[in-house]
Amino acid sequence: MEQLTHLKELEAESIYILREVAAQFEHPCILFSGGKDSIVLTYLAYKAFYPAKLPFPLVHIDTGHNFPETLTYRDSLVEKLGADLVVGYVQDSIDQGKVTEEKGYSASRNKLQTVTLLDTLAEHKFDCACGGARRDEEKARAKERIFSHRDEFGQWNPKNQRPELWDLYNAKKDVGEHFRAFPISNWTEMDVWQYIYQEGIELPSLYYTHRRKCFLRDGQWLAADPPFIPRRESETVVEKEVRCRTIGDVTCTGLTLSHAHRLEDIITEIAASRVTERGGRADDKRSETAMEDRKKQGYF
Amino acid sequence: MKLLRFSTAGSVDDGKSTLIGRLLYDSKSIFEDQMEEAEKASRSRGNEEVNLALFTDGLRAEREQGITIDVAYRYFATPKRKFIIADTPGHIQYTRNMVTGASTTDLAIILVDARHGVMEQTVRHSWLVSLLGIKEIVVCVNKMDLVDFQEDVFLQIKQAYLEMAKSFCRAHITFIPISAKLGDNVVNASSNMPWYEGKALLDFLETVEIERSSDDHFRMCVQWVDRPISSKWPDFRGYTGRICQGEIKVGDRILVQPSGLYSNVTGILLGEKSLSSAVCGQSIVLTLSDDIDISRGDVLVSAEGCQANEASTVALDICWLRPEPLLPGKRYLIRHATQEVQGIVKEIVYKVNISTLEKESSISSLTMNDIARVILKTASPLIFEYYQNNRTLGSLIFIDPGTNDTVGAGMIVPEAL
């Protein structure tokens, strides 16, 4: 009997996981950022339940520092799929005094998202949030389960994660606890790109080469437009042809110099690339265990 | 391109993490910034060369202690194949992690230190891997550089391993002499061992064909019933699941277990695409010609050939995963395929002494890492196949209703008469 290609097998596994989420939880949701991973995740969810509509809403935590292209894309996708959208605003958390805005040149609202995320999940009583995280992205995610238990503080304790055998997922929990589910855990960055190409999935224009005003800091190109990043006098603004390989908000997205306009060219560039996907994410550079520490605080 | 999932097991000092680091490094899968980081971390820890193990040790505590505690999944691809590695610890106290990692894999790499040969750990891991139904084992005799690359040492170990494994192992076993640290026979062939005529490890991994089950009777566990109830799809009712055996075609006749009702397949959907047939491994939606009652937990099988087994009493090979003991008579929640039922262990038939492989009887309870044969009774019948024939329909987990934790892993076996 013909064995499936790796993309077909990964797709089948992710759809299986999404259906388990729907069956084992009361109020699941999909964390949507507008990044390629959450886009592929949403697309897989659409496939998993078709012809029924997505049985759970998309949740977007808006730092207020997004590229406008991300928001446009999000809104048109929601309309196309007939999905429900829930938005949590980091600005609200700041106004409520729950978090304090960072100051300085490397200020970012990335860390603040965690509080808004947990509040939004609690407010809507979501008992499972599906994310597009992959295990190959970063060291701390290599250990992550597919159904990842979070305590009542939203915290991830590496010592308490349940053994996950075969394709059996244990979603049992006590009141106040919730889960994160990661249906594309076994996909690599290349798998995601290949799938996008194979399926003809539309992406926000940021992923493709475009001209943008940017500046150089510590060897990394960052966006000067929109102007969310405080800039030093010495950091001159120039216009460059760039694209984003991975998208956070403006303050933590590195721009890659590129002339790749077509998807095939982007994929070729990535295959030849010697820097990991998250190498361009300023949020991971802060310390060796940055991601792990953020996870313990319930970020993702 | 196909996908191969394999596990790696070995003692803390056998060089397992170094081997994986070597596979990733030599196949150019480690990107510049990861290499930079590992070099930086190596230097700050006082290591002279890059400690390749640092690529796979992620958590803070592990990096400090220098050992792997949990299952780490690593990914790499060559032009020929995509690989998923389940990297598991060697310490006996983490047997549960090894079982977890190995459960999703088709091939196991077992490392043996050339200086020490077959040890208690080797026996235990080999036994476990066989228990989990892995059909391909690669025994890598590592640190050949420390025994002067002698062929005699390699052959002695090979002999000892085969002797040890013959009583329980039905897998296909391949032996490769390597040095993970220097790279010999990992990705590149070794010039230090001209007497070895087999493949280097990566070449073997790229070309091995995993034996698939010959049973092709259709089986699919119903996960979720798709009911759009929209103006566009007013009457649509589709049964979703992942085919775990055989194939299905539009027009095929199927039987629903346990209800015993029959129907015909009128449609197969995968997303928006209508298929005329689907194969094992695919996640699909089936529509049927009859309006019958089907729900999550039911199993759809081919109307031809034998049905899946149905029973409330089954024999299991289990691995207990937590320190809280398994108590016969205690109620557990059993998750099996898409079913969830209450279950009680009626009897511990025997426990396996993993060092001697002897069966010990008169056992009153089991604790973490114990492997045993038990009789399980469930509140309603399980619909199953024996684990050796079908992993999805033959595997289950025990959930402790008090802690919600996954406490045991079981594989359904034919009852000894």
SS3 A249: coil
Q: Do B271 and A47 touch (CB under 8 A)?
A: yes
Cβ–Cβ < 8 Å for B300, B280? no
> What pLDDT score was predicted for residue A295?
47
Q: With cut-offs at 50, 70 and 90, classify the pLDDT of residue B51.
A: low
Q: Tens digits of per-residue pLDDT, B141-196?
A: 999 999 999 999 999 999 999 999 998 898 999 999 999 888 899 988 899 999 99
Q: Is the ipTM of this complex over 0.85?
A: yes
Q: Do B227 and A52 touch (CB under 8 A)?
A: yes
Give me the total of CB pairs closer than 8 Å, taking one residue from chain A and one from chain B. Answer: 171
Most B CBs within 10 A among A16, A157, A168, hence the mutation to make, goes to A168
Q: Tens digits of per-residue pLDDT, B103-145?
A: 999 999 999 999 999 988 888 889 889 999 999 999 999 999 9
Interface of B with A in 91-120 (CB under 8 A): 96-97, 99-100, 103-104
Q: Is the pLDDT of residue B64 over 70?
A: no
How far is the CA of B135 from the CAs of A126, B16, B101, B102, B138, in angstroms? 41, 20, 15, 12, 10
Interface of A with B in 237-266 (CB under 8 A): none
Partners of B101 on chain A (C-beta within 8 Å) are none
SS3 B331: strand
Cβ–Cβ < 8 Å for A290, A107? no
Interface of A with B in 12-31 (CB under 8 A): 12-13, 15-16, 19-20, 22-23
Taking the mean position of all CA atoms in its chain, how far away is CA A214? 23
Cβ–Cβ < 8 Å for A32, A58? yes
Domain with CATH 3.40.50.620 in chain A: 6-192+289-296
More confident call, B70 vs A190: A190
SS3 A175: coil
Q: From B4, B179, B18, select the one nearest B90 (Cα to Cα).
A: B18
> What pLDDT score was predicted for residue B310?
96
Two tokens at B302? 């081919």
> What pLDDT score was predicted for residue A292?
45
Nearest to B226 among A49, A161, A279 (CB): A49
Q: With cut-offs at 50, 70 and 90, classify the pLDDT of residue B398.
A: very high
Count CB atoms within 10 A of the CB of residue B135.
Answer: 16
SS3 B220: strand
d(CA A36, CA B344): 46
Count CB atoms within 10 A of the CB of residue B254.
Answer: 23
> What pLDDT score was predicted for residue B161?
96
Partners of A279 on chain B (C-beta within 8 Å) are 31-33
Partners of B296 on chain A (C-beta within 8 Å) are 23
d(CA A245, CA A196): 13
Q: How far is A96 from chain B (nearest CA, A)?
A: 34
Domains of chain B listed by start with CATH number: 2-207 (3.40.50.300), 220-302 (2.40.30.10), 309-413 (2.40.30.10)
Determine whether A2 is exposed, middle or buried from the number of CB atoms within 10 Å of its CB (0-12, 13-18, 19+). Answer: exposed
Q: Do A142 and B58 touch (CB under 8 A)?
A: yes
Partners of A20 on chain B (C-beta within 8 Å) are 223
Q: Do B283 and A22 touch (CB under 8 A)?
A: no
> What pLDDT score was predicted for residue A3?
78
Cβ–Cβ < 8 Å for B332, B344? yes
Q: What average pLDDT score do residues B5-21 get?
A: 79
Q: With cut-offs at 50, 70 and 90, classify the pLDDT of residue B389.
A: very high
Count CB atoms within 10 A of the CB of residue B403.
Answer: 13
Count CB atoms within 10 A of the CB of residue A147.
Answer: 25
> What pLDDT score was predicted for residue A250?
83
Identify whether A51 is preceded by a cis peptide bond (ω within 30 of 0): yes
Can you name the residues that pair with A61 across neighbouring β-strands? A88
Q: Do A23 and B285 touch (CB under 8 A)?
A: no
Q: How far is B35 from chain A (nearest CA, A)?
A: 10
Nearest to A23 among B32, B223, B321 (CB): B223
Nearest to A50 among B33, B272, B392 (CB): B272
> What pLDDT score was predicted for residue A161?
74
In which region does residue A187 sit, left (phi positive, over 0), alpha (psi from -120 to 50) or beta (all else)? beta
Q: Do A188 and B82 touch (CB under 8 A)?
A: yes
Identify whether B258 is preceded by a cis peptide bond (ω within 30 of 0): yes
More confident call, B369 vs B95: B369
> What pLDDT score was predicted for residue B335?
98
Two tokens at A236? 């001159």
- Does the CB of A164 have a partner CB in chain B at under 8 Å? yes
Q: From B71, B18, B269, select the one nearest A51 (Cα to Cα).
A: B269
Closest-CA residue of A relative to B238 is A51
d(CA B39, CA A95): 43
Q: What are the residue ranges in chain A where pLDDT is below 50?
A: 1, 286-289, 291-293, 295-296
Q: Where are the alpha helices (H) located in B66-150, listed in sequence order?
A: 95-103, 120-131
> What pLDDT score was predicted for residue B96?
77
SS (H, E, C) A58-77: EEEEECCCCCHHHHHHHHHH
More confident call, A250 vs B404: B404
> What pLDDT score was predicted for residue B366?
95
d(CA B89, CA B102): 11
Interface of B with A in 19-38 (CB under 8 A): 31-34, 37
Partners of A2 on chain B (C-beta within 8 Å) are 279
Can you name the residues that pair with A113 across neighbouring β-strands? none
Partners of B3 on chain A (C-beta within 8 Å) are 6, 9-10
Q: What's domain A6-192+289-296's architecture? A: 3-Layer(aba) Sandwich (3.40)
Q: Tens digits of per-residue pLDDT, A169-184?
A: 999 998 888 999 999 9
Nearest to B103 among A162, A166, A191 (CB): A166
pTM of the model: 0.90
- Does the CB of B233 have a partner CB in chain A at under 8 Å? yes
Partners of A23 on chain B (C-beta within 8 Å) are 223-224, 296, 338
> What pLDDT score was predicted for residue B13?
67
Cβ–Cβ < 8 Å for A37, A134? yes
Q: How far is A201 from chain B (nearest CA, A)?
A: 14
Q: With cut-offs at 50, 70 and 90, classify the pLDDT of residue B348.
A: very high
Secondary-structure percent of chain B, ordered helix, strand, coil, rounded to 5: 20, 35, 40
Interface of A with B in 47-66 (CB under 8 A): 47-53
DSSP string, B11-70: -TTTTHHHHHHHHHHHTT-S-HHHHHHHHHHHHHTT-SS--GGGGT--SHHHHHHTS--S
* Local structure of residue B329 (DSSP, 8 states): T
> What pLDDT score was predicted for residue B357?
82
Partners of B248 on chain A (C-beta within 8 Å) are none
- Does the CB of B309 have a partner CB in chain A at under 8 Å? no
Q: CA angle at residue A257 from A218 to B37, to 5 degrees?
A: 45
Q: From B251, B318, B248, B308, select the one nearest B283 (Cα to Cα).
A: B248
Length of chain A: 300
How far is the CA of B365 from the CAs of A189, B324, B346, B409, in angstroms? 46, 10, 11, 15
Q: E strand or H helix at B175, and its extent? A: strand B172-177
Burial annotation B171-186 (CB, 10 A radius, 16+ → b, else e): bebbbbbbbbbebbbb
> What pLDDT score was predicted for residue B53?
56
Two tokens at B69? 């505690």
Q: How far is A89 from chain B (nearest CA, A)?
A: 31
